[in-house]
Chains A and B, each alone.
Chain A
Amino acid sequence: MNWAHKLLLIDRRIIFVVVFVGALIPIIWPIGLAVQISPPVKAVFDRVEAMKPGDAIMLSFDYGPSDGPELDPMANSILRHCAKKGIKVIGVSLFPLGGVEMAIARFMQLDTDLKARNGIDYVNLGYKDGAPAPMKAMGDRIESVFPCDANGVPYSEIPVLEGIRSYDDLELAISLATSIIGEWWINLVNAQFGIDVALGTTAVSAPKYYAFMEAKQAIGVLGGMKGGSEYEELVARAYPDLKGLSRSATMGMDVQSVVHLVIIFFILFGNVMFIVTKRMTRGAN
């Protein structure tokens, strides 16, 4: 085994250490790179921006804590955007493992950031199991699925829900989704009830949703930390008074950028070693 071959079969733990150091450096010394806006994120922002005060959207927290770093910033930005526009937000959760906890945390954050009022500006209806069934049932009557909110207040006594009975009374449904639930929002809710659907997904899932977006089954996609940082940037541009609030996705993009560079380096390094090994083997033969 020659030196190039040894380098080619580099121990994966070395790669792990370099990736770890690459992730650590921008956390200690932030770079502050500029955010480029992509059309799928702009489409979602524009759709919300075009709404009028009093319009309502459904924000479905279909993710757990593992996806929090990628999807929490999207939730924060969308909630801030709606609060500034006076758009009512109906929060639901269809993800069993922590979805409702993620919703509680984001609404608490909104209370702290913008003094939004539970029940008046937004409501958190809580969690319901068996995602496709409640999704379909909400097309007829949301109250049949969520007879009360996460705090046990009856649906009919919540001011923000006045006049909202089904998807027909909503302008948009946004699912911040991991696993299969995002696809169901497209295949079940958009296809059967016609309501506009937008998705916030992890970076890994984002490519899949481009196909749905191009087919006009989703109005836009926020993909991973980059999507979150773009929405943060758009909200900050439109509402300069929000600039002081935390922008964790924008900060996270520094880490993502450096780790991407590390991976690109290893891919190129691996290929150089691969070619050298091949040539050496050919030469030896």
Chain B
Amino acid sequence: MKRQVPIMLAITASFLPVIAFFFPNAWINEWFNRKLDEWMVIIASFAFLLGIVSMVQVNLHKVRRRQKGWIFSVIILVSFAIMASCGLFGAQGERENGTLYPFTWIFQFIYAPMQATMFSLLAFYVASASYRAFRVKNMEASLLLIGALIIMFGRIPFGALIHPVVPDLAEWIMRFPNAAAQRGIIIGAALGAASMSIRVMVGIERPYLGKS
């Protein structure tokens, strides 16, 4: 019973939107589409709570036991408490006098720069990964290298300075060879996803029950 009920629920919940997709009946649309969507929004919001509980538990545990790196857990818990308080009990945006509310201030001057910093690290990692990966080991790798160079030149104004055709060539590679390869992978992956979904829908695979 403990297993059958969730399986039945999962199977039902996965088939109802499919029915609503094809049959426009008002009742079906209301209950199989709109209501399920509303519930999905509510459940997704509650899932945050689940995550918060896990995060607080794990980090408190780490602090209590003075495990390796416990000081980072203290920082996480304090930051979480400050941000949550500002969000829950304070307003967002700008005050009448032009100053920012604490939540927006933290967001703009701490969170946003840290995020941008992390994302900008990509440029450095792309450089080191490209340095290792683009080697003319064989014919295919050489073609890959040539394609990469055309795209890299074509995506910056220097490309047009080398030759006016370079940006057009880069665009052509993006629109045709690139799009063709992307489509091949996307179609394969979409079918894989559909097949995976069917397995979950009919209960062959049940990751939500801990059975993979």
Contacts and interface: CB of A to CB of B under 8 A. Distances in A.
Task: Establish whether A and B are touching in the complex (CB under 8 Å).
Answer: yes
Interface of A: 10, 12, 15-16, 19-20, 23, 33-36, 38-39, 64-69, 98, 101, 104-105, 108, 128-130, 132-134, 136-137, 140, 144, 203-204, 206-208, 210-211, 213-215, 226, 253, 256-257, 259-264, 266-267, 269-271, 274-275
Nearest to A18: B127
A267 B160 contact: no
A267 B157 contact: no
B155 interface: yes
B107 A33 contact: no
B195 interface: no
14 contacts: A34-B157, A36-B159, A69-B120, A98-B112, A101-B104, A144-B34, A207-B178, A210-B174, A210-B178, A210-B182, A211-B183, A260-B152, A270-B134, A275-B136
B160 A34 contact: yes
B159 to A, nearest CB: 8
B43 to A, nearest CB: 8
Contact of B136 (A16, A208, A266, A271): A271
Contact of A68 (B38, B94, B116, B175): B116
Interface string B154-173: 01111110000001000100
Contacts of B179: 210-211, 213-214
Residue of B94, B116, B157 with most chain A CB atoms under a 10 A cut-off: B157
Contacts of B111: 65, 98
Nearest 5 CB-CB pairs, A to B? A65-B112, A33-B157, A66-B115, A133-B37, A257-B156
Contacts of B41: 128-130, 133-134
B155 A266 contact: no
Contacts of A257: 156-158
A213 B189 CA distance: 18
Contacts of A12: 128, 131
